[in-house]
Amino acid sequence: MERVLAPPASSGVLATGWHTLQRHPARALLIACAVLALLLAVPGETVTTRTLEELFAILDGVHRLAWGKVPNRDFHSAIGPLAYYIPGLGYWLTGSFGAALPVGMALLLLPFGAIAAHILPSRLSPALALPFGCFLLLILAVPMNLGDAVNALSFGQFYNRIGWVGLALLLVMFLPPETGRPTLLLDILCAAVLTLLLIYCRATYGIVAVGFLLFMLTGRRQWLWAGTALILAAAVAGLIELFWRGSLAYWQDSLLAFSAGGWLRFTPRQWLDLFLGNTADYLLLGFLVGIATWRRFSLRLVLFAVLCGLAGFWLLNQNDQRWGMIVIHAAAAAVAETILRDMRRADARPVGALVNPAGVKLYLFGFLFPTIVHCAIALSLHAGTALVNGGQALTLPRLEAVRLADLWTPGDFGGSRWYTDLVADGLGAIEGLDQPAAPLVVLGGPNPFSLILDLQPARGDTAHLRWGHHQNEIHQIPAAEMLGNTSTVLERLAAGGIGTMGAAYLPFVSENFEPAAQTPNWRIFQRPDDLQ
């Protein structure tokens, strides 16, 4: 009698688990969100291998919030107020600057997870919704700039990942829901919340979000939720302005950054380099669009894909990134679902050996998988290093929960150690001053000194308007506004000094301040008593 071999029990368990996830994709995404939030929040520390200056710029903004200062109203910034209030909430809950960003991002994951749990299962097949949802949540959670190596840990410019993920979720709403249950109210709420998050996180993402909603007004089945979401977002923004009173200043700061850096930065040759660096993503999306239009031509779908490609390039051009147009991945998910829906229609073209439902699902998964693995490794490195207290705790007061790690990154590690020595040199000089130092302004970089010494922040200066990117010798904050409320000015001498920034501010410093101290890295000026 011939013996029939049963499949291994493990394969049956895996198959059962996958079918269970497919039946409850929203629940699976919420569980994944909770796990990622715990990985960030439980260690309660920030581990970084690079860009300490970017981290200090954000924490300086958190310090200002702790002193009751309001973004764009009391200090200038090229990023939105949410980029400070998110870590500010983490600091308020923990009392630790090292826990501010991990805990703040962990808390932000929760509403993003809830929004993803509604949008993705209502628009995408479970086999697309699950990997795409995990892809987005991992990008939001990982402390790493998109396009960097897995060991390049940094919370600097974390607001860009919020922008990419928020836009990706919003763009998936290009697809009408296929579920039988009504989704209109939730669609309106999710779209309005995402739009507000993007507007108040960074203006560039907010511009694209509003543009997408305006584009959706042209859809017969989509205009109602898109138009209502725009009205709701505008109404909430009006209520926020009643308390914030900084909307005009925020837009003026954003325009200053656009004027100094350009609405399209860099040169044509650099644009070509940026395009070539992302050619693979464009080709992968183009291949999907080609299949979709071959099966059933849709001018609206083609236009949507083209606009996503243009918006992704513009956003990447405005960021310090070489790769990471996540809107391309969102467009790919929407196009893949369009193909699957067409295959289910009675009048559709027949499926073939290459173009079939399983192939489309595998294609999108292959598109997402490298980034999923990349982000999972980086997040694991951060959580593991923080849990075992790896790396070196900063010896700067109030920043002991920030750990500088050498994860096979000797160059970045050495540069960060040099920068901490630079800050320590400035601290020693400030503490030796005869007069009180606050309020204090730093020319040539972020201001970690007010945070470390818990000094009253200056009013009218900048927390995140980098010279050469958001300001230049033509477009800048006027010196009288920047330094008018200041008692102490630190001019950075190290690493080439402040360059062309000196022509904009040093004449005002010479007229209103006196030299007070100098080190190899800093020159310190203080306002005379009779001018205080």
Domain co-membership, 122 together with 234: yes
- Give residue 267's pLDDT band: very low, low, confident or very high (50, 70, 90): confident
Domain's final residue, options 369, 385, 401? 385
pLDDT exceeding 70 applies to what percent of the chain?
94
Domain co-membership, 362 together with 498: no
Non-local CB neighbours of 481 within 8 Å, separated by 6+ positions:
460
Q: How many CB atoms lie within 10 A of CB 331?
A: 28
Residue burial 140-150, b: 16+ Cβ < 10 Å; e: rest: bbbbbbbbbbb
Q: For residues 187 and 189, what is the distance between their CA atoms, to the nearest angstrom? A: 5
- Give residue 6's pLDDT band: very low, low, confident or very high (50, 70, 90): low
Torsion of CA 350, 352, 357, 359, to 10 degrees: -160
**3-state SS of 4-25?**
CCCCCHHHHHHHHHHHHHHHCH
Domain co-membership, 264 together with 204: yes
Work out the mean pLDDT of the chain and round it to a whole number.
91
The number of angstroms, rounded, from the C-alpha of 12 to the middle of its chain's C-alpha atoms is 40
In DSSP terms, which residues pair with 525 in a beta bridge? Answer: 489, 515
Give the pLDDT score at 2: 45
Domain co-membership, 363 together with 427: no
Report DSSP letters for 306-335, one per residue. Answer: HHHHHHHHHHHHHTT-SS--HHHHHHHHHH
Non-local CB neighbours of 151 within 8 Å, separated by 6+ positions:
49, 378, 381, 407, 408, 409
Domain co-membership, 139 together with 201: yes
In-domain check, residue 500: yes
pTM of the model: 0.94
Question: Which three-class secondary structure state does DSSP give residue 96?
Answer: coil
Domain co-membership, 423 together with 371: no
Domain co-membership, 63 together with 136: yes
Which is more confidently placed, 168 or 270?
168
Which pLDDT tens digit goes with each residue over 287-304? 999 999 998 889 999 999
In-domain check, residue 199: yes
In-domain check, residue 64: yes
DSSP E strands in 329-485: the ranges are 392-393, 402-404, 440-443, 462-464
Which pLDDT tens digit goes with each residue over 384-403? 999 999 999 999 999 999 99
Tell whether the model's pLDDT for residue 532 goes beyond 80: no
Q: Tally the domains of the chain.
A: 2
CA distances from 63 to 95, 268, 448, 463 (A): 11, 40, 9, 10
In-domain check, residue 132: yes
Q: For residues 25 and 517, what is the distance between their CA atoms, to the nearest angstrom? A: 62
Q: Is 496 left (phi over 0), alpha (psi -120 to 50) or beta?
A: left
In-domain check, residue 288: yes
Give the pLDDT score at 9: 52
- Give residue 53's pLDDT band: very low, low, confident or very high (50, 70, 90): very high
Domain co-membership, 337 together with 469: no
Nearest Cα neighbor of 426 from 402, 453, 407 is 453
In-domain check, residue 26: no
Which pLDDT tens digit goes with each residue over 402-421? 999 999 988 889 999 999 99
Tell whether the model's pLDDT for residue 10 goes beyond 80: no
The number of angstroms, rounded, from the C-alpha of 59 to the middle of its chain's C-alpha atoms is 15
Range of the domain at 259: 33-385
- Give residue 352's pLDDT band: very low, low, confident or very high (50, 70, 90): confident
Domain co-membership, 349 together with 470: no
Where do the H-state alpha helices sit in 388-453? 410-431, 449-453
- DSSP type of residue 456: P
Write down how long the chain is. Answer: 532
Domain co-membership, 67 together with 169: yes
Give the pLDDT score at 4: 47
In-domain check, residue 498: yes
Does an H or E element contain 76, and which?
strand 76-77
Give the pLDDT score at 143: 96
Domain co-membership, 206 together with 241: yes
In-domain check, residue 11: no
Domain co-membership, 134 together with 188: yes
